[in-house]
Chains A and B, each alone.
Chain A
Amino acid sequence: MKLAYERDLTPMKLTSLSGVRQNDVTIALANRLGISRQRMRRILIQKCDLMTLENLGPRYDAAEIQARSDEIGDALSLPHLSTAAGILTKERADHYRALAGEKDAVTADILRMILEEIS
């Protein structure tokens, strides 16, 4: 249903992401996932609301602290995608953490699956 008071926030979200701090975090997330900044921006604009994008910096810092004590999560960027950007639910993050714990698990494959899910 299209509501009369809804407006397209894409330009405003892009303005938010072009801030110095937000841009740094976008690049850091893109590097973690091995994708371009443009693609990361597109994912963030599609999946996040305006305030999450504005607050990306402090949220990313909080995720970094969390990742220090979570080796698997850090390798798969789970705190960064769930705590910082909120584009992966906690349940899905736990699912990927369990996958990584299995025998013969390949980090690159799981990262590809995560990327498919959030794209």
Chain B
Amino acid sequence: MKKVVDVSLPVGPVHPCFKEPCRIKCETRGERVVTTEVELGYVKKGIEKIMVGRPWQETIFLAERVCGICSVVHNTVIVEALEKISGITVPRRAELLRLILNELDRIQSHLLANYSYCYTIEHETLGMYLLNLRETAMDSIELMTGTRIMAAYVVPGGVREDLSAENAAAILAGTYHMEKELKRFVKMFETGPMIGLRSKGIGVLSMQDALASGVVGPTARAAGLPRDARKADPLYLEMGWHMITRTESDNFSRIMLRFDELFQSLNLIRNAVAALEPGKIRNGGEMKAGRIKHTIEAPRGDLTYDIEIDAAGQVVSVSIQTPSIPNIEVATHAMMKDLASAADVTSTFISADPCIACAER
């Protein structure tokens, strides 16, 4: 990084506010942060390269290992891509079960993101409440899949396990519990004067920067950009999904948008459970050669797999475009540009919900 100003301030790679290692290099002038640069490369996995030459069956498990927080969505997107290449259909019950699991995954991811933000601005009480509530979502995921993460629940043609009526009832009860608690926590966040001081008008992302960077997910929607891959999914529309956006585009709006989306996810789960009818959970099929670019909405935004399979069922090439890449990039070059205080660097960065594991796929 070219040094142009008073002091170069390194934040990280190991920092109490970061879940994963990354280094933010800040160029400061007095208390003001003029520019920042994010340096990755501490946990690069090279999963794209590892996948090449391997049979498609192995890629399903490898994809999950891109990210521990949103392993469900990586599992879903690669399986859906393989299904589309081969023309394999999925029974309706399995589609609904996938939707339920993905929304539970979104809930736990959003709660973790908002916990991280509260922790970063030193509102640890609310942070711990949110982290405690996340356990309800994690328990529901465990009820469905048998494990908390990396369940390989989504398989070509359907899902691995059915959901019993007893477990469906427990998941429904969990959604009501989360809704009741969330209302209280959202009020705490929305009306907290110190939270407002640390969050409102800080880390503003302009529309011009948002458009130029290809920012996705809650970070884009909080800037007023209606970008959500679920809008093209008929099942989501049938379950009552609608686009949620905000316009303030600051740290506060990004956290509030995630809270708004949590309520929507809870409703989607309830509607999907109500729509469940007895039936098959898996169809058969044969894997074929081909190439496809498939996108679905991960908790952090558009997750795209561009994958090519040969006739022997081996991966020829794969590109994983995770939402954290544009989100971290825009946080670095736009949101953290010209910040009033060095103390806002970590909170602004965390407000974009950066996943280093996803970026270092």
Contact = CB atoms under 8 A, between A and B. Distances in A.
Contact of A19 (B212, B319, B333): B319
Contacts of B37: 49-51
A21 to B, nearest CB: 5
A63 B359 CA distance: 22
Nearest to B3: A1
A34 interface: no
Contact of B306 (A7, A20, A58, A62): A20
A12 interface: yes
Interface in A52-68: 52, 54-55, 57-59, 61-63, 66
A63 B212 CA distance: 7
Contacts of A57: 214, 321
Contact of B8 (A3, A50, A61): A3
A109 interface: no
A54 B328 CA distance: 10
A70 B213 CA distance: 18
A108 interface: no
A55 B40 contact: no
Interface string B35-58: 001111100101010000000000
Interface string B2-31: 010000101000000000000100000000
Contacts of B333: 51-52, 86
Contacts of B325: 51, 54-55, 58
Question: What does DSSP make chain A's interface, helix, strand, loop or mixed?
Answer: helix
B158 interface: no
A59 B41 contact: no
A54 B40 CA distance: 10
Given A1-B3, A20-B317, A52 B44 contact: no
Contacts of B39: 7, 9, 50
Contacts of A49: 1, 37-38, 332
Contacts of B1: 6, 49
B214 A58 contact: yes
A51 B328 contact: yes
Nearest to B322: A54
Contacts of B248: none
Contact of B44 (A12, A59, A63, A86): A12
Interface string B279-318: 0000000000000000000000000001000000000011
Contacts of B40: 12, 50-51, 54
Interface residues of B, number: 30
A23 B144 CA distance: 40
Given A59-B212, A62-B212, A51 B329 contact: yes
A119 interface: no
Interface in A65-114: 66, 83, 86
Interface in B310-349: 317-319, 321, 325-326, 328-329, 332-333
Nearest to B37: A49
Interface string B200-222: 00000000000111101000000
A58 B211 contact: no
A15 B3 CA distance: 25
A61 B214 CA distance: 8
B359 A54 contact: yes
B41 A58 contact: no
A25 B40 CA distance: 21
Interface string A1-21: 101011101001001000111
Given A15-B46, A19-B48, A58-B321, 6 more contacts: A3-B8, A21-B306, A51-B333, A54-B40, A58-B213, A59-B213
14 contacts: A3-B3, A12-B44, A20-B48, A49-B1, A50-B39, A51-B40, A51-B325, A51-B329, A54-B40, A58-B216, A58-B321, A58-B325, A61-B214, A83-B212
